[in-house]
């Protein structure tokens, strides 16, 4: 079993200062992977800079030029949450290019699964707007790249970040070749992701949102992935699975009110990996999105790699959530999603 890791120190040059999405996220994660020697079991996939033509698979040239302009002028705020430093445009090209290298490695059989530890993240970037810490939509560009280069007709994107991937949804909302599946806290930033947002035109039914109330934990999330994602994926029969891997649903993360643990993330990844192994010869690529509690993030990413390697996750250093609020009943939500998507 070969598992690829896509990382380069260039990702640290997206300098956001004291912003919650900062380089410490990757410094902490790589440090843990090195200290545990898990990194020695992974196959390094060096990233490259994506071309403007590749980025334009999901974004107009005007958007690309705007990001470049902010960087070359010394940086600045593209919106109230999203910052570009002088190096951010170049780093963002490497984030996209790293994910594309992961697509190539998975599709050609160089490795079985891969995880891109790239930043800036991407799933909030819409066709023509940077937002939510995201400059370019790495995972959406990867899907378009895979469709065109490898002539794929069915790509499944699963998104377990606590925030809905509004950008990814928008880009593929009318596209029946890309099925977008998301679990997220709702209502929460950015305000999208209701059950009723399920695609338009030929893409009707190919967006599957499972909006969850605050305080959902491991049990609730795993129930969603087993009861909703599994039948959806088996019906769709993807040729490639892509994942927006956000770890901000962890109970210790300051940007959410969810109650997931490291073991919960490992369980979600195990379900996704099992589907990829069954349905598309293991062709699975993850790309990092959110996750802002450094210890929770680094250990959850480590657990993800352990699952991809077929190993049992290490003990969870943070343990169970301290909040004792009763878990919400998500049965009615699941019933409504199942009815809307005819899952029986």
Q: Is the pTM of this model over 0.95?
A: yes
The answer to whether 142 and 102 are in contact (CB under 8 A) is yes
Two structure tokens written together for 224: 């969603």
Q: Comparing C-alpha atoms, which of 297, 217, 225 is closest to residue 251?
A: 217
Strands (E) located in 127-281: 155-159, 178-185, 207-212, 240-245
The answer to whether 152 and 166 are in contact (CB under 8 A) is no
Q: Would you list the domain boundaries of the chain?
A: 3-314+332-340
Fold of the 3-314+332-340 domain: 3.40.800
Q: How far apart (Å, rounded) are the C-alpha atoms in residues 52 and 50?
A: 7
Catalytic pick among 14, 113, 124, 164: 124
Residue partners of 281: CB distance under 8 A and separation at least 6: none
Q: Comparing C-alpha atoms, which of 96, 122, 124, 92 is closest to residue 13?
A: 92
pLDDT by position in tens, the chain (length 344): 899 999 999 999 999 999 999 999 999 999 999 999 999 999 999 999 999 999 999 999 999 999 999 999 999 999 999 999 999 999 999 999 999 999 999 999 999 999 999 999 999 999 999 999 999 999 999 999 999 999 999 999 999 999 999 999 999 999 999 999 999 999 999 999 999 999 999 999 999 999 999 999 999 999 999 999 999 999 999 999 999 999 999 999 999 999 999 999 999 999 999 999 999 999 999 999 999 999 999 999 999 999 999 999 999 999 998 766 678 999 999 999 999 999 97
Tell me if residue 124 is catalytic: yes
Two structure tokens written together for 121: 């993240």
């Amino acid at each position: 079993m070969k598992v690829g890791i896509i990382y380069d120190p260039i990702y640290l040059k997206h300098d956001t200062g004291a912003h919650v999405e900062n380089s410490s996220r990757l410094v902490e994660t790589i440090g843990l992977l090195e200290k545990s020697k898990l990194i020695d079991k992974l196959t390094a996939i060096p990233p490259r800079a994506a071309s403007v033509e590749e980025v334009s698979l999901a974004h107009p040239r005007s958007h690309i030029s705007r990001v470049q302009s902010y960087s070359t002028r010394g940086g600045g705020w593209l919106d109230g949450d999203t910052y570009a430093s002088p190096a951010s445009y170049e780093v963002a090209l490497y984030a996209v290019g790293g994910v594309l290298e992961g697509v190539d490695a998975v599709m050609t059989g160089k490795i079985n699964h891969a995880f891109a530890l790239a930043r800036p993240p991407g799933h909030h970037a819409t066709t023509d707007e940077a937002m939510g810490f995201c400059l370019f939509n790495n995972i959406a560009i990867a899907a378009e790249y895979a469709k065109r280069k490898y002539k794929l007709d069915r790509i499944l994107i699963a998104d377990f970040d606590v925030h809905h991937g509004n950008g990814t949804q928008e880009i593929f909302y009318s596209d029946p070749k890309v099925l977008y599946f998301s679990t997220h806290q709702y209502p929460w930033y950015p305000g999208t992701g209701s059950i009723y947002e399920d695609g338009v035109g030929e893409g009707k039914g190919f967006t599957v949102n499972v909006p969850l109330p605050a305080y959902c934990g491991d049990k609730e999330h795993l129930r969603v992935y087993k009861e909703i994602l599994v039948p959806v994926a088996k019906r769709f029969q993807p040729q490639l699975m892509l994942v927006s891997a956000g770890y901000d649903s962890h109970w210790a993360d300051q940007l959410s009110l969810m109650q997931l643990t490291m073991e919960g993330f490992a369980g979600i990844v195990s379900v996704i990996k099992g589907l990829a192994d069954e349905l598309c010869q293991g062709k699975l690529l993850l790309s990092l999105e959110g996750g802002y509690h450094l210890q929770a993030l680094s250990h959850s990413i480590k657990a993800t790699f352990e699952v991809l390697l077929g190993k049992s996750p290490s003990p969870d250093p943070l343990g169970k959530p301290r909040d004792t609020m009763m878990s919400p009943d998500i049965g009615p939500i699941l019933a409504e999603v199942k009815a809307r998507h005819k899952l029986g």
